[in-house]
Structure 1
């Protein structure tokens, strides 16, 4: 959790965030700051990030899930039931 607060200017109280949302949003969307951590009751409560950063994280999560699925499926791979790339291409040409 401490990685969220690597710079003091990235943390803002919920009250301050409510008053300065437009400016904070502009900082994030312009790339001036990578994210803003909203703190409530002295604990991180939310993170504001730009759409590009969010999409990049989602893409990476999707890639990692696909990789994990492929690794898991390799354990049950039966070499006798596999089809070569050449054979598969011949089926569809």
Structure 2
């Protein structure tokens, strides 16, 4: 990897390969991915966390204290 890092980096950043697994002592040690792929993973993780939070909050939703979308929009007109 040390001798061919530049070429391998170009393969990942050009889209030729989506990722590159880097081994140390015959064991996977790291993964090299492009910035766009990393950002997509971060965005997906953020969406999943938000969805999980929404699911958790739905279980404790108090229907009597809930405001409809129409009522909420009317408050801010």
The TM tier, using the shorter chain, reads: over 0.9
Return the alpha-carbon distance in structure 2 between the equivalents of residues 69 and 88 of structure 1: 21
Unaligned 5+ segments in structure 1 are 1-16
Aligned partner of 1:9 in structure 2 is none
Residue 18 of structure 1 deviates from its aligned partner by 1.2
**Aligned twin of 2:7:** 23
Q: Structure 2: which 5+ residue stretches go unaligned?
A: none
Alpha-carbon deviation of 1:20? 0.8
- Size of the alignment, in residue pairs? 77
Q: TM-score, normalised by structure 1?
A: 0.81
Counterpart pick for 1:69 among 40, 43, 53: 53
User: Deviation above 6 Å: which 4+ runs of structure 1?
Assistant: none
- The alignment's TM-score, normalised by the length of structure 2, stands at 0.98
Structure showing greater relative contact order (alpha-carbon pairs closer than 8 Å, 6 or more residues apart): 1
Tell whether 2:25 aligns with 1:41. Answer: yes
CA RMSD between the two structures: 0.5
